[in-house]
Structure 1
Amino acid sequence: MEKELTSKESLSLITEMISRAKREAAGDGSFQLLLWGWVIALCNFGHYVLAWQGYMYPYIVWVLVLPAAIISGVKGYQERKNAKVKTHLDDFISQLWLAVFVGMITVIAFMPVLEFNHNPVILILAAIGVFSTGAIFKVNFIKLGGVVLFVGAIIGFLVPVSEQYLVGGVAMILGYLVPGYLLKNKFKSRV
């Protein structure tokens, strides 16, 4: 025979279930921040150093984005497939980042039109994604990462194109990697 729950016990059980669902829906989340933070920071710094040394094709380092995109896509698919709880927030976050990605590809396609000032525009798009994700999951240090990316974009517009790669690398470290590692540590302490 099942025990009848008091209203206080019922409320406690419901609250715990909601908290568990919210934790599972938010997941760790650090993987994507860390992957893209490292890849894009390294590409920015690599481009900057190669250009500074006079290498004819400094943009060659950006081929690292291709395997990162594959890894990111596979990992994202696995996480969605294995999720115990699927929420509207998960769908929204996926759609948000899809829109950010399409925006970045569009910006890259029109680099000559932008007179190669694409890096600050990409930082703005990343800032929107990071800030929105932090706001949705109510994680202030992720929102702060978005703010850092916005500031990086502003600084990027104020410096020559050649220096924008240095600014972009620093912005990725502070806007993606720092929040990514904080999120990873926070998730480990919750689980």
Structure 2
Amino acid sequence: MENTGQLNPTESLNIISKAIGQTKEKIKEQSFYYIMWGWIISVASFCNYLLVTFTEFKHDYLPWLILIPIGWILSISYSIKKEKTKKYETYFEVFLKYLWIVLGISFIVIVFISSQLKTNPTSFILLLAGIGTLVSGLTMKFKPLSFGGISFFFFAIASLFVSNSFTLLITSIAMIIGYLIPAYILKKSE
């Protein structure tokens, strides 16, 4: 019997089904980052709001200085752990990884620029989060994440019309709607 190198229809479907299943699992793994950063930023924003609104504490920004480095450490640790178990990396995974690395650097640059200009960075940060989340949702073909990304645009605009302390509440709510709800749906998806 001669091997022509061609697959029969059943073998082709099995390979396609296996590839789709692996892609879905890799997409579900992305939920970790959205859940972790959603909680970190939401808690930091809310704690900062409470400190600004209800105390005279001069260092009300401390939740950010404590929680953001924790988020970086957790992200890097999780990423390294996942890299060790991977046999290969898809273009999809590479694209999302570099998208969020560039956006992460952009978040830092925006905070630095805003501090130099003595302006609130919230609108710009929410805009960048919206871009990254919407692009990720569209790339994953996951509508809840796409809607979460779009919601960030509305929150970015809304943050222009409230006091600085209320932008902290807007940020916390934006993280819940834009990151956490879609991420938990993604994590539970089949």
State the TM-score, normalizing by the size of structure 1: 0.89
* Partner deviation per Cα, 1:112-147 (whole Å, 9 max, x = no partner): 344332011111111111111111110000101101
- The answer on 1:140 being equivalent to 2:140 is no
Contact preservation (8 Å) 2:151, 2:178? yes
**Bigger shift: 140-149 or 76-85?**
76-85
Runs of 4+ in 1 over 3 A off after TM superposition: 3-7
Deviation at 1:85, TM superposition (A): 4.1
Structure-1 separation of matches of 2:111 and 2:187: 30
Contact preservation (8 Å) 1:124, 1:149? yes
Q: When the two structures are aligned, how many residues end up with a matched partner?
A: 187
Q: CA RMSD in A?
A: 2.2
State the secondary structure of the residue aligned to 1:86: coil
Match of 1:19 in 2: 20
Task: Name the amino acid aligned to 2:23.
Answer: K
Match of 1:180 in 2: 183
Match of 2:95 in 1: 92
Structure-2 separation of matches of 1:88 and 1:6: 25
Deviation at 1:66, TM superposition (A): 0.8
Deviation at 1:17, TM superposition (A): 2.8
- The answer on 1:107 being equivalent to 2:110 is yes
Shift in alpha-carbon separation, 1:157–1:76, aligned structure 2, 3 A: same
**Bigger shift: 163-172 or 108-117?**
108-117
**Please, which runs of 5 or more residues in structure 1 have no aligned partner?**
none
Contact preservation (8 Å) 2:127, 2:152? yes
Match of 1:60 in 2: 62
- The answer on 1:127 being equivalent to 2:122 is no
Match of 1:35 in 2: 36
Contact preservation (8 Å) 2:28, 2:186? no
Match of 1:76 in 2: 79
**Please, which runs of 5 or more residues in structure 2 have no aligned partner?**
none
Structure-2 separation of matches of 1:23 and 1:84: 16
Structure-1 separation of matches of 2:39 and 2:166: 19
Structure-1 separation of matches of 2:92 and 2:7: 31
State the secondary structure of the residue aligned to 1:58: coil
* Partner deviation per Cα, 1:150-182 (whole Å, 9 max, x = no partner): 111111112122211011011011111101111
Shift in alpha-carbon separation, 1:8–1:71, aligned structure 2, 3 A: same
